Structure 1
C-alpha cells in the first residue's frame, strides 16, 4: 500500500530525449530519417529505433551490429552538435520551471508542483514541453509524469519512444507491479538475474516479500532500497542547485588488440580534456577515477586521491597513468574497449594549497598558457604528439557546461 503524508500529486516530469545522438543525425541529414543508423566508430554509442528493432544496442561492437542489421548505416559522432542540441533543450526545461535536475546530456527531472496556481496541470505541461522540443529543436522526447522522480523515470521508459505517460497517485501499484524487474530504475542485469534465481519476475513479486528477505538476498542496503522502490517510498522531490560532483569523459576504442602505448595515449587525451574543463569551471580535483570496459562487457574502476586538491594537468596525468598501470593484468587478460577518466571531490580554485616548485618548470603557468591557446584557437590547436596517429577519438560529453 502506498502511503504518504504529503499531498499526493503527480507533478514530477522525467524528460528523456529519444536515441539522442542518432536523432540529432537524422534531424540534420534527411537521408538518414527512418533508416537504421548507429553512431560511433568501432563501438555503437547510440542507435536509432530502426536499428534497435534489429537488436542493435549501445556498447555493441560495430561488427556485431552489422551482423544483426546488414542495412545499418554507421555515422561518426559530432559531439559539438549534440552539446548544442542539449543546451537548446535544457533552455526549454528552464523556461518551463526553475526546478530542473539534469541527469545527463539528454535527460532531466522537472518539478512543476509550484506551478499549480499559474499554469495548466502537469500532464498538459508535459505535452506542451514535448511539442516545444519537437518544434523548436526538432527532436523527439518522451516524458513520464508521476509523484516521484523514480516513478516518472520508469514511466518514461515504458512510454518510449516519443511518448507521454501519466502515473496517477491512485494508480501507482497498478502501473508498477506488473512491470518486469528490468524496467525498474537501478535494477541492473546482475541484480535481475539474482532475483530471477529466486523465481521473482515482476515488481509485484518483489513487493510481496518482507524487507528482511530482500536484505538477505541482496544485502542490507540493496534490499532496503528495492523494498522502498516497489512500495513507492522513494524521495518525492528533485535535487536542484547542487554543484556538479565530477567532471569526466570517456573514449570508446573498439575491440583490440590495442598496444599499451595506444591505450595510454587515449587516456592522456581524455586527461587533457577534463583538466581544461575543470580549470574553465574554476574547480580543483581531489580524486582521479579511471574507468575501463573490457571485451566481455565487464567493467573495472580504480581511483587515487591527492593530499591536496589540484588544478595541475601533470598531477592528474601522473595519477591516471599509475591507475592504468595497476590494471595492466586485467587489460591483458580481457582486452579493453573503453577508457574513461573522471575528476571527483571537486572544490573551488579560490583556495588552492600551493606546492613549492623545488624542481623543474612551473607547470601551472604551462597549463594556463595551453588553456589560453585552446580558448583562442580551438581545443584542437594543441594535441599531444602521441595522439597524432591514434587520433583523439570520441570523448563522450556529459551535461553541458
Structure 2
C-alpha cells in the first residue's frame, strides 16, 4: 500500500452542473435533473437543491414537496456523455490506469509517475484546472494510498475540494470518521454498532475481532480492514460493461398493448444505438416489466448471432413484452418497462455472409447509420424507424 498513489476524481453534481453550465440563467438556482411526472426519480440535484434535502434516487413527488421552487429538467444523456468523454481524455493524458465508475467518476493510479509522487497535490490540482478549462465543470479529488481512502477523501472534500491523505496520515484522517461511512454499513449495522458504543472508525479499529463478530457476523474482518485503511484492490482500466439498458417509469399506468409495443421498439432502438456508439454487440436481449403492485417480470432471449441492429433487438423485446401482456388477464397495467442488452462483446466490424447491402440486414444497418448520424447531430428522438412515439413521463438510462 505504501508504494501506491491513487486518485479518486468525481465531478460535482454532474448532470445538474452541466445544465447550469449550458444555461447560465440556472446558475445559483436549485436544479433537479429527472423526477418528472408523478413517478419519476431524481437523477441529480445541484447543491442549491441539496440544501432543501433533495438528493439522487429520491421520488420526484417528494423532491417537489421539499423544493417547490426547483427547476426540474429531463436528462440529456448525449450531452453528459459528450462532456464525460472530454474529462476522461484528461484522465488518460495523466495515466493509462483509469478505472471509470460512471460518466462522472473514476479512479486513477499514478504510482509509476515520479513527478506525481513527489508533488501529488500539484498534480491533482493541475488535473482539476484542465477539466475546468476544457469543460467548465468542477471536480473534487481525493488522493490516498488506496481506492477506499481516496474515495472517502473526495467525498469529504465536496464540493470543489482537494484532499490528500498520506500513508503517515491515514490514522489521523480515518479515526474520527463515523462508522456509517464504511462501505457496506447500512442503518441496521450502524444502529448495532452505536448501541455498543462503537461510533467511529477509531473505535471500531480498537474493537477486538471476536466482539465485533458477535455484533456484525462475517463482516467483522472486512470492516476492521477498512477502519485501518487497508484496501489492496488494483485500479482496473477500461472495464467492459456487462450490460446496456434503458427503462421508463410511467406517469400513469400503461394500459394499451399497442403503446407498449411502440415503447419497447423505441427503447430497443436506443439500446442498439448505445451498443453501436461503444462498438459493442450483444448476444442476449432481456426485458423488465413491473406492474403497479411492484411484481416484476424479467425474461431474456438469445439472438441467433451477436448484433447491434435495432430491428434485431426490437423483435425480441416486443415478443417478450407481448408474452407478458397475454399472461396478465383482461386488464393488464404496467408501471415500468425496460430493455437490456446482455452478454456484450466487441464489434469487429465484419458483416456476416448474408448481410450485404442488398439484404434486409444490410438495409437495416444502413438505416441504423442514418439514425445514428441524426442522433449525433440533432439529439435523441427526432427521427425514428417508421414508428409512432409512445407517450412517456421520464426516461431513466441504465448502465
Asked whether the equivalents of residues 373 and 381 of structure 1 are also in contact (C-alpha less than 8 Å), the reply is no
Deviation, structure 1 residue 339: 4.5
1:248 aligns with 2:244: yes
Deviation, structure 1 residue 250: 2.7
Alignment coverage as a number of residue pairs = 380
Measured at CA, do residues 118 and 128 of structure 1 come closer, stay the same or move farther in structure 2, by a change above 3 Å?
closer
Deviation, structure 1 residue 256: 3.3
1:135 aligns with 2:136: no
Deviation, structure 1 residue 218: 6.4
Asked whether the equivalents of residues 14 and 143 of structure 1 are also in contact (C-alpha less than 8 Å), the reply is yes
* 3-state SS of 1:388 partner: coil
Deviation, structure 1 residue 347: 2.1
Q: Deviations over 1:193-216 (max 9, x none)?
A: 244245365444554556677778
Q: Which moved more, 1:227-236 or 1:20-29?
A: 227-236
Partner of 1:102: 100
Asked whether the equivalents of residues 304 and 323 of structure 1 are also in contact (C-alpha less than 8 Å), the reply is no
User: Which of 229, 238, 243 is matched with 1:232 structurally?
Assistant: 229
- What are the residue-to-residue correspondences of 1:291-302 with 2, within 5 Å? 302=298
Partner of 1:16: 10
Asked whether the equivalents of residues 248 and 340 of structure 1 are also in contact (C-alpha less than 8 Å), the reply is no
Q: So what's the TM-score if we normalise by structure 2?
A: 0.78
Asked whether the equivalents of residues 145 and 152 of structure 1 are also in contact (C-alpha less than 8 Å), the reply is yes
Q: So what's the TM-score if we normalise by structure 1?
A: 0.77
* 3-state SS of 1:60 partner: coil
Counterpart Cα distance in 2 of 1:170 and 1:110: 21
Measured at CA, do residues 109 and 264 of structure 1 come closer, stay the same or move farther in structure 2, by a change above 3 Å?
farther
Asked whether the equivalents of residues 255 and 335 of structure 1 are also in contact (C-alpha less than 8 Å), the reply is no
Asked whether the equivalents of residues 56 and 65 of structure 1 are also in contact (C-alpha less than 8 Å), the reply is yes
Counterpart Cα distance in 2 of 1:269 and 1:218: 46
Measured at CA, do residues 113 and 324 of structure 1 come closer, stay the same or move farther in structure 2, by a change above 3 Å?
farther
Counterpart Cα distance in 2 of 1:218 and 1:264: 48
Partner of 2:178: 180
C-alpha RMSD of the superposition: 4.0
Structure 2 unaligned residues grouped into runs of 5+:
none
Partner of 2:33: 39
Counterpart Cα distance in 1 of 2:184 and 2:297: 19
Counterpart Cα distance in 2 of 1:131 and 1:30: 20
Counterpart Cα distance in 1 of 2:74 and 2:10: 22
Structure 1 unaligned residues grouped into runs of 5+:
1-5
User: Which of 52, 59, 63 is matched with 1:65 structurally?
Assistant: 63
